[in-house]
Amino acid sequence: MQVATKAIVISAVKYGDTSLIVKCYTSEEGVKNYLLQGILNKKKGKLNKSQFFPLSILQINASHNNKGSLNRITEAKISHPFQTLHVDMLKQSIVFFLSEFLSSVLKEEEGENDVLFDFLENAIVWLDYHDQVANFHLKFLIELTKCLGFYPDETNKEKGYFFDLLEGKYITNQGMNVIQGEQLHLFNMALGIKFDVLDKTLFNKNQRAIVLDLLLKYYQLHMVSFRRPKSLDILSKVLE
């Protein structure tokens, strides 16, 4: 089936000596995997390896097969030319972390999700255009839970002395998988972050690391397939 769709590049892995297997989140059909044969040898043509930088936003024409098989891209154009993501070291580290993170949580069988695609596109463009981005990945992971269906229930936030990571809600009694005290305070601060005031949220490197670890635990408890990104160490060093 021939499809014209917007697509966000999640990852690109070398296949053989000259090809790439590219994972994209498309606006039309969700996650799709593509085989780009010989692209590493091509200097001209409708496809270029530079188009498939992680989190690139593309307009593609593609041939989609049944789920579970590799698809083909016949033409690709950059929908949003990046201004800073290719050249800013911190942003590059965030991009590679989010690329690995999204590869773990977005699966082909989940299909289309317009809200998720719009969130990914808008967040990536925001990252490209703004300078104060040290807390961006925290806000991104929190907002992503809304799209995936397990955003924390804040109903009893004012009354809860604990937050249950497994149940995803505030509670008044101690139990397993709960956070409290300073961890809960930092978690609450993170939930209150807004994109337009990211630069006003003051986390030091230790606090940022605590919040990120809590969010990764939250994902681990809610997504069976989730793996902690290996690129986390690199991002942590860049943020020091």
Query: Which sequence spans correspond to the domains of the chain?
Result: 1-81, 83-240
The predicted model scores a pTM of 0.92
Sign (positive or negative) of CA dihedral 209, 210, 216, 219? negative
Question: Exposed, middle or buried by CB within 10 Å (0-12, 13-18, 19+), for 86?
Answer: middle
Distance CA 188, CA 186 (A): 5
The whole-number pLDDT of residue 109 equals 63
The whole-number pLDDT of residue 42 equals 75
The whole-number pLDDT of residue 239 equals 85
Tokens of 73: 């891209």
Rounded to 5°, angle at Cα 136 from 132 and 139: 135
The whole-number pLDDT of residue 154 equals 93
CATH architecture of 1-81: Beta Barrel (2.40)
- CA 133 to the chain's CA centroid: 15
Is residue 25 within 8 A of residue 117, CB to CB? The reply is yes
The whole-number pLDDT of residue 110 equals 67
Which element (helix H / strand E) includes 226? none
The whole-number pLDDT of residue 199 equals 76
The whole-number pLDDT of residue 201 equals 74
Instruction: Collect the ranges in the chain with pLDDT lower than 50.
Output: none
For the domain made up of 83-240, the CATH class stated in words is mainly alpha
